[in-house]
Amino acid sequence: MTHNVLLAEIMHETNTFNRIATVRADFETRYWHEGIDTARALEGTNTEIAGFMEAAIEHDWALTVPLAASASPSGPMAGDDWATVKRLILGPLRAGKRFDAIALVLHGSMVTETTLDAEGELLGEIRALAGADTLIAATLDMHANVSPAMVTSADLMMAYRTYPHVDQRERALHMARLMQEVLVGAPRPKLVMARLPMMDAANHGQTAAGQPMPGLLNLAADVERRDGIVCASIQIGFPWSDVPDIGPSVIVTATDESSGRVAADELMQAVWHSRHHTQLEFATPAEAMALAGAGKSGDKPLVLADFADNPAGGAYGDSPNLLRALIAAEIENAAFATICDPLCVECAGSAGVGAIIRLSLGGKGAPELTPPLDMKARVINLTDGEFICSGPMWQGVRFSMGPTAVVRTGGIDVIISSVPTAVMDLNVFRSVGIDPEKLTTIGLKSRNHFKAAYAPIARETMLVDAGGIASMRLQELIYRNIPRPIWPLENLDLVKDLLTMKP
């Protein structure tokens, strides 16, 4: 039997401390596809949309795809563009088309200029239009800040289980199987959520060996083998979003609501205890330079991740602080990616390859934390900034850094982009003529996603806090909407009845 299924994606992780509004053009540097014909550009990629389209063939679904859109994390989405997103996704429902199921690809930590809970608002409007009988499912990023409104409006919900996130397509295929089971007669499940007062957990969800997250995921897998449990999902949350529903959560999808509640509470207690293994202090630029200075010609690269200004955390991606330290330490055979500064790209483009130019580089977004770097450099290359990810994360997806320049100062090549760019793929360097495997030191904007591609070529990786709005110095940020008290802003270890806390 053919089932009519609405499939839509709006993927954005919002750093509310970023003062620059996110607009449609920001999505188009990754992708914005309207209609199933354009969404087919994602077929064969490691994305949820590709997984759902593959599942539709297997399960004989008739798909309607009004929108598939994903942007790099950044500031709150502009109100007018959010209205466009809702108009497109809700359009088929408002036109009276009926669906057996609706599959949504969401981040779970999206904020707009008009709402602190974009996904909750969207899901609520979809439920109101689709009716109680329509099956509604949503996949989420592991770093979702899940709201009660999201849980109330959906029937199935699950997050990624890898960080770096390399299982997008796999999770969509899993979700599609669960949807198909319900569509052909399995009991309709319910969602149960648990949360405790914390902003981060499990070392931000890193799933490498030795981290706490794999153990939590093993517990979730054990829970899923229990009678009445369909799925158990752990979301680590996104601490740079000033919203009431900030922080880690557990969602259990269950046909037996009572069993779901027990399981959710149990898992949430385990997440709570993982705070003891959550890193809050990181290397300084000086400590990073001591390690970089020990590198020798012929070594595999040392990879220094400038995570506090990581665009994948919604930061501006224009801090030159770590680069400043590399230059001062006279590090050789090095490259840095990327500093976002469209004016400097334009200056390099006007001067041309080979020219020596003076730049006031970066530092426009948060100059009080990351002031501009005055430097003299030679223009080495100019490109359109386009590249296709080699993976494993986002494999096959075309990204754009916008017009891009490569300049050289001392022994360091610096990639200057026009679009904030988190460095997750080796092709960031290769696309501008730099072979990352031949470098002794690599500086890049990322926190953990880079490890999927860069750890295999590195002699060592180090996270460096050189300042920025995605730092784990959360006490330095001004929150107005989060619940208090909350860990780690307050030391909840001092609460007498902590161990008996209930989600």
DSSP 199: S
Instruction: Give the N- to C-terminal CA distance of the chain in Å, as an integer.
Output: 41
Residue 454 is predicted with a pLDDT of: 98
Contact predicate 319/306, CB 8 Å: yes
Residue 140 · residue 158 · CB < 8 Å: yes
Work out the average pLDDT over 124-139: 98
Q: Is 485 exposed, middle or buried (0-12, 13-18, 19+ CB in 10 A)?
A: exposed
pLDDT of residue 492: 81
Q: Are 15 and 240 in contact (CB under 8 A)?
A: yes
Using pLDDT thresholds of 50, 70 and 90, give the confidence band for residue 502: low
The CATH number corresponding to 1-188 among 2.60.120.10, 3.30.360.10, 3.40.50.2300, 3.40.800.20 equals 3.40.50.2300
The CA R_g of the chain, rounded to the nearest whole Å, is 23
Task: Mention the CATH class of domain 189-280+475-503.
Answer: alpha beta
Helices 213-224 and 257-273, packing angle to 10 deg: 170
Cα dihedral 39, 44, 47, 52 sign: positive
- Please tell me what DSSP assigns to residue 32: E
What pLDDT band is residue 426 in, cutting at 50, 70 and 90?
A: very high
pLDDT digits (tens, 9 = 90+) for 47-72: 999 999 999 999 999 999 999 999 99
pLDDT in tens, 6-25: 999 999 999 999 999 999 99
What is the average pLDDT across 119-139? Answer: 98
Q: 92 pLDDT band (50/70/90 cuts)?
A: very high
pLDDT (0 to 100) of residue 498: 47
Range of weakest confidence among 284-293, 414-423, 488-497: 488-497
- Whether the CB-CB separation of 447 and 434 falls below 8 Å is answered with no
**For residue 273, what are its two tokens?**
């205890």
- Residue ranges of domains in the chain: 1-188, 189-280+475-503, 285-471
380's CB contacts (< 8 A; 6+ apart) are 353, 406, 407, 408, 413, 433
Distance CA 467, CA 383 (A): 29
Residue 214 one-letter amino acid: P
Q: Is 414 within 8 Å of 407 (Cβ atoms)?
A: yes
Give the rounded distance of the alpha carbon of 337 from its chain centre: 18
The helix/strand/coil state of 457 is helix
CB 448 within 8 A of CB 163: yes
Q: How confident is the model at residue 497 (pLDDT cuts 50, 70, 90)?
A: very low
Question: Beta strand 135-140 with 101-106: parallel, antiparallel or unpaired?
Answer: parallel
pLDDT, tens only, 298-357: 999 999 999 999 999 999 999 999 999 999 999 999 999 999 999 999 999 999 999 999
Give the SS3 label for residue 287: helix
What is the mean pLDDT of the segment spanning 130-135? Answer: 98
Mean pLDDT, all residues of the chain: 96
Please state the pTM of the whole predicted model: 0.95
What's the CA gap between 171 and 60, in Å, rounded? 19
**pLDDT grade, residue 499 (50/70/90)?**
very low
| 446: nearest Cα among 165, 250, 197 | 165
